[in-house]
Amino acid sequence: MVEGNVQKVVLAYSGGLDTSVIVPWLKNNYDNCDVICFTADVGQQEELDGLEEKAIASGAAKLVVRDLQEEFLNDYVFPTMQAGAVYERDYLLGTSIVRPLMAQKMVEIAENEGADAIAHGCTGKGNDQVRFELTVMALNPKLKVIAPWREWDIRSREDAIEYARKYNIPLAQTEKDIYSRDRNIMHLSHEGGLLEDPWNEPEPSMFQLSVSPEDAPDEPEYIEIGFEKGNPVSLNGERLSAVNLFTSLNKTAGAHGIGRVDMVENRLVGMKSRGVYETPAGTVIFRAHQALESICLDKYTMHYKDSVAVKYAELVYNGMWFMQLREALDAFVKVTQQTVSGTVRLKLYKGNIIIAGRKSPYSLYREDYASFGEEDVYNQQDAHGFIQLFGLPLKVESLLAMDGGGESRYRKPDYSKFKRD
């Protein structure tokens, strides 16, 4: 139990079994404290009607709901995408990105309401507990953090249902979904159940945002995404808000079986876990952004930016959004995006994203320079001097070895001199 008196708590609330049970548990274990429930609308498609009544029936003083979808995409998803951040080669960080935003709003509400603590329903085995609590530490370390899963005696869903019934907590259903899911407008994650054995193939019925590539249309679909300074702003020539663009593209890309990832990742807390992610729109936009950068960024900026992407992804995954290093990397990325404007044409076909064209007023690609045909802009004889200078370190090293009576260390050995048994 958290030390010290707690009079008012802000709880991250979904209305599910766990967070519904946490409300009376907090009141019973923290001197009948006031509980303010907070629900972030990040596009999870969960029914919000009746949620306030349910929270109050569970013992909460009130429910605060915030629509954070535009802020989530513009201030969290797009900067991460512009950085090229991908965790362990595959994960586009859909859940990792949203937790700092949710925790930030909880701190804000706690300060406005005069609360002295926040609470969350994250388990002691996962990454989300770290992401929530690091955000609180960064923004207001004076707030206490209560993590019931690290304190209470409830150890199973059946225990939670029994506790809910004891305190007359309304339950929508008691059937157990074998999968643990987290959804927002960017992605849907699946964990647990059959996925706990990495040899098991996911069940087709598990997926909700995308069809199987085998069941996708037999004809490809072409789309165009427009970017301004690294931000996606239009779809097929129509300028859209971030939410409308993602909503539309989720349907289109999902219908072509795009955005599925099945991976075993290294959790921050030390264990490996398997997750299956559906990220239709995010996968397409990420790929389109890469294609546009390929003609808008110079070689050295792009190569260095690729190294930054790995660190950026690590910081986001580990919940260190509100950290000076992440903000410094963000400043670098923003400079690189000043010329990343243009349009990318893509072909969507049975789980594949095929780049069909890209153009930009800031393109560094010059057809007259790149052409293998006859031209007047490039003197091929200049290549000789370039090669001599570029390879000078290799030449000097080899000459020194040979002048000393030896041979270049890369000379192929004469195996005929070796004795054979």
Closest CA to 150 of 168, 176, 130, 180: 130
Can 358 be counted among the known catalytic residues? no
Do 55 and 23 touch, CB atoms closer than 8 A? yes
Measured CA to CA, the distance from residue 134 to residue 129 in angstroms comes to: 8
Do 260 and 277 touch, CB atoms closer than 8 A? yes
- Alpha carbon of residue 208 to chain centroid: 18
Q: How many helices (H) and strands (E) does the chain have?
A: 14, 14
Do 351 and 216 touch, CB atoms closer than 8 A? yes
Measured CA to CA, the distance from residue 60 to residue 24 in angstroms comes to: 8
Closest CA to 134 of 110, 178, 99: 99
Torsional sign, CA 191, 194, 200, 201: negative
Can 330 be counted among the known catalytic residues? no
Can 326 be counted among the known catalytic residues? no
Do 357 and 230 touch, CB atoms closer than 8 A? no
Alpha-helical segments (H) within 30-127: 51-57, 69-72, 78-82, 94-113
Buried b (16+ CB within 10 A) or exposed e, 339-366: bbbbbbbbebbbbebeeeebebeeeeee
Do 265 and 272 touch, CB atoms closer than 8 A? yes
Closest CA to 209 of 178, 254, 152: 254
Do 52 and 63 touch, CB atoms closer than 8 A? yes
Closest CA to 182 of 21, 281, 17, 46: 46
Can 99 be counted among the known catalytic residues? yes
Exactly one of 14, 41, 66, 180 is catalytic; name it: 180
* Angle (CA) 326 329 331, round 5°: 110
3-state secondary structure 200-229: CCCCHHHCCCCCCHHHCCCCCEEEEEEEEC
Q: What tokens appear for 348 in the block?
A: 């969507």
Do 136 and 143 touch, CB atoms closer than 8 A? yes
Active-site annotation, residues: 18, 99, 128, 180
